[in-house]
Amino acid sequence: MADNSANESPKRSPRPRNPSKRKKSNATLPILAAAGAAVVAIGGAIAYFGFWRKPEPIQGLMAIAKVIPQEAHLLIAFNTESRPWQKLSQFGTPESQKLFSQTMEQSPLHRLLEQSQADFDRDVKPWLGGDIVTALVPDPENPNNPPGTLVVTTVTNHNQAAEFLGQYRSALAAQGANFTTKEYKGAAYFEATTRDPNVFVITASLGKDYVAIANSPDLIERVFDTYAGEQNALAEKPNFRYVDRLEQTETMPESLAKVYLDGSIAVEFLGSQARIDLSEPVLSHSRSQIDAITIAVGLQKEGIRAVMHNHRQNPNSFIDNSGVDNQESVPFTDSLSSETTATATETEAEAESSEPESSSGNEAIANAEVLKLLPQETFFVVNGTNLKQSWQKLVEQSGDNPASSAIIDQLREQAANLSFLDLEEDILAWMDGEFAIAALPITQGALANAGFGLTVLIQTSDPEASDTFLQELNTVAETAAGGLLPQRIELGTETIGDRELTTWQADAAKVATVGYASEDYIFWTTGDLAKQFIPPPTGSLPESSEFKIRTTALPTDNQGYFYLNVSSALVLMDKIFPNEVKSSGGYIQARIVLDAIRGIAVTNTVIDDYTSRFDFLITLKPTPGN
């Protein structure tokens, strides 16, 4: 399309390349309701592009992946239908809705519309072919440089799309941008520099079927080559087939976004989004273990639902998968082959013939007997099974990875320093059953001011070993010289129901209780919490309405739950945190988000030797009037 703001310039010479050409395969693509925040974190300019030959019919994310260079290590596809985003606006407090709107205003799409003085429904939606996809694409020739940012979408009306892009360029030109027409192998695109001389705004069209925006000339040239089949596409990347399966199996009726993360950056990216500074040994371990992570995010009536699949390079490091049975409750219909060289045809055939699979470990925790020992007032719990075996698998897996071995050694050393116990021989050797770590409200005793206490419950099949552990633990407490435990702890006894327990006293205050909660479960708990689960509560946590609301829609045959009643936790936060913390900007912003959330539940399910599935449900408060 002709553009008055674009001036002709000499053709750009093609970069020297040695492209490998392969047959293209089929695969499709997959984050979060907080879409704006994720996009802001990605940063960069947006781009729309077109080229000289008509591709295959444009259907789904796979078609877009066919024009994205294979080096892309992050891809986020945002649903452009207005219905789920309008529904999202029905959740939260007025303050959280304001914060969400401010976040969305920082997104590239909003800035694009604002800069071009355009209206989405009027100027964009009529020609938009589907999801808007953002990708981060490293340059293989300069791997240490920041990755380029690419945004691609399909087009149903090329003339309207070209008119919008012309409107966008004209608006930027009015603000001082100087767009020039460039050419690469016969394809024209428009380029302008930004305040940063190394960052560009580039718009282009691929035939009549795609538009894109990129932030570097090199990246848009690689996109052209990918479209022409001269460079391998993301759709051909072996681990991108997981995205195709995610789109086929996780069909959320109110989808918001889907995400693909290559294993080389997956944990680092997720850590950065959560503002967690991960150590290099942790990152190195993740790179050696994770092939890819895929995420699908959508809405259900209670709030935000997300499904994440962790695809490993090697067999499952943490779960015993002997005795695999069919599991109909997990709607993931693929069992992934370990052969990364399988062709697309072979992969699709496997997907059609495979049955959903899961580890017997899923079934072992399905009824979670340990949760039945906890009262309904429990507001936080993490539970699982077989810590002994999980540790053994982790040690085996770390054998050839120095960074992973370093983490193992650090954990051993920390256990010895804190408790003077050997982590493997004294602590984990008998922990082959269920376990739970829980937080419960407390209103009396030494911890009344804190308002809550912690409880650890561990199932054992070796009473002799667990008895020895309890004796050694009591000895450690009695001889503590300070640090994690107070000095001068005195041991006492207490009988609750039919259980004789050991108490830890410090300055005449009971700081902890240890013993057997039942024939099969030992426990350690702070303060007087033992009275809340001895004898077993008449109303247990799984029977509470709060727990049911957050977990009913999640797979029941799982490896354990993470459960947090946010509403209860906030009451305690107000009580515990000093005013200087509560008045800080970070706390205020976090509190705005948390005030909109009722609770969070997560489950972990083993699909097969190479795949774990995590289900998230964030229950939200409705906005006033909904």
Q: What is the pLDDT of residues 504-529, one digit of tens each?
A: 998 878 889 999 999 999 999 998 89
Give the end-to-end CA distance of the chain in Å, rounded to a whole number: 46
Q: What is the pLDDT of residues 246-301, one digit of tens each?
A: 877 777 778 999 999 999 999 998 888 877 888 887 888 788 889 999 999 999 99
Helix (H, G, I), strand (E, B) or coil at 354: coil
Higher-pLDDT residue of 2, 424: 424
Cα-based angle 301, 303, 307 (whole degrees, multiple of 5): 105
Element (H, E) at 412: helix 402-419
What percent of the chain lies above the pLDDT cut of 90?
45
At 316, the pLDDT band (50, 70, 90 cuts) reads: low
Q: What is the pLDDT of residues 487-505, one digit of tens each?
A: 778 999 999 999 999 999 9
Residue 38 confidence (pLDDT) above 70: no
Q: What is the pLDDT of residue 359?
A: 42
| Residue of 555, 567, 554 lying closest to 617 (CA atoms) | 554
At 13, the pLDDT band (50, 70, 90 cuts) reads: very low
Helix (H, G, I), strand (E, B) or coil at 471: helix
| Residue of 552, 537, 534 lying closest to 599 (CA atoms) | 552
Residue 64 contacts residue 131 (beta carbons within 8 Å): yes
Per the prediction, the chain carries an average pLDDT of 80
Q: E strands along 165-254, which residues?
A: 180-184, 187-193, 200-204, 210-214
Rounded CA separation 66/56 (Å): 10
Q: What is the pLDDT of residue 483?
A: 58
Q: Are strands 7-8 and 180-184 parallel, antiparallel or unpaired?
A: parallel
Rounded CA separation 188/11 (Å): 9
Range in 124-133, 136-145, 364-373, 612-621 with the lowest mean pLDDT: 364-373
Across 369-374, average pLDDT? 93
At 402, the pLDDT band (50, 70, 90 cuts) reads: confident
Rounded CA separation 192/576 (Å): 53
Q: What is the pLDDT of residues 582-611, one digit of tens each?
A: 999 889 989 999 999 999 999 999 888 899
Higher-pLDDT residue of 328, 564: 564
AA identity, residue 131: D
